[in-house]
Amino acid sequence: MVETPLLEAVDLYRFFHVGDSETRALRGVSLRVFPGETVALLGPSGSGKSTLLACLAGLDEPDGGHVLLAGERLTRRPEAERARRRAAAIGILLQSGNLFESLPLAAAIRLQMHLAGQRDAARPERLLAAVGLAGRENAKPAHLSGGERARAGLAVALAAEPALLLADEPTGEVDAETERALLALLAERKRAGLAALIATHSAALAQWADRVLTIADGRFADA
């Protein structure tokens, strides 16, 4: 039996226009990610990594092509439907906007769990400890460093135990010891079936992944 991809992108195009200038952020990108698989996404700044993650998460609409989540189309669906499916199945860590500035970290994790219909009083404390933020349950984002915000964002992304993680530089701005701890957390979730597509510049994370994709100028290197 052929395994069904958890996530599939088919021939994605995304263009941005400023005045008469056109930026071709994605140019015919296709990929598949299977349950329990970790895929590292490599590429220089401006290569299309962040745009691709936004389209895959249903946060942005491609100009061409489509995205399937668990075999069902996510692209060009009403925002309420996309939001419901994101909350139920996708954990998202972007370069910014992952935390509510007014919410303490534990409350942000509980909110994500609530949106997915889950309750576990001990999970916020466990997740924050796993990302190296033990004892910071009541801290607000303004009191965190850049690396701490990224780690807190990863905890929020994993709060509802999603089937799929889409993450942009989850180990950025951390030391080697902290990176090892984050990889251990991801490995634990992988054993539980988590699929992940992770944009990264980390050699350690790329080496740990099951597969590596390299994007440049909106296309995969072997496209």
pLDDT score at 58:
94
Q: Is the pLDDT of residue 53 over 70?
A: yes
* Residue 153 located in a structural domain: yes
| Contact indicator for 197, 56 with CB cutoff of 8 Å | yes
| Contact indicator for 89, 70 with CB cutoff of 8 Å | yes
Mean of pLDDT values over 76-83: 92
Q: Is the pLDDT of residue 34 over 60?
A: yes
pLDDT score at 23:
86
Q: Is the pLDDT of residue 1 over 80?
A: no
pLDDT score at 176:
86
* Residue 159 located in a structural domain: yes
Q: Is the pLDDT of residue 3 over 90?
A: no
* Residue 25 located in a structural domain: no
- Structural domain including 57 reads 36-61+78-220
Burial class (CB within 10 angstroms; exposed 0-12, middle 13-18, buried 19+) of 194: buried
pLDDT score at 178:
85
Looking at residue 175, which CATH number applies to its domain?
A: 3.40.50.300
* Residue 15 located in a structural domain: no
Q: Is the pLDDT of residue 39 over 90?
A: yes
* Residue 180 located in a structural domain: yes
**Using one digit for the tens of pLDDT, what is the confidence trace for 102-151?**
999 999 999 999 988 888 889 999 999 999 999 999 999 999 988 889 89
Counted domains in the chain:
1
| Contact indicator for 167, 157 with CB cutoff of 8 Å | yes
pLDDT score at 110:
94
**Using one digit for the tens of pLDDT, what is the confidence trace for 139-152?**
999 999 888 898 99
Q: Is the pLDDT of residue 2 over 80?
A: no
Prediction pTM value: 0.92
* Residue 134 located in a structural domain: yes
- Supply the DSSP string of 87-149, one letter for each residue: HHHEEEE-SS--S-TTS-HHHHHHHHHHHTT---TTHHHHHHHHTT-TT-TT--GGGS-HHHH
**Using one digit for the tens of pLDDT, what is the confidence trace for 166-187?**
999 888 778 888 888 889 999 9
**Using one digit for the tens of pLDDT, what is the confidence trace for 198-208?**
999 988 999 99
* Residue 3 located in a structural domain: no
pLDDT score at 190:
93
pLDDT score at 222:
67
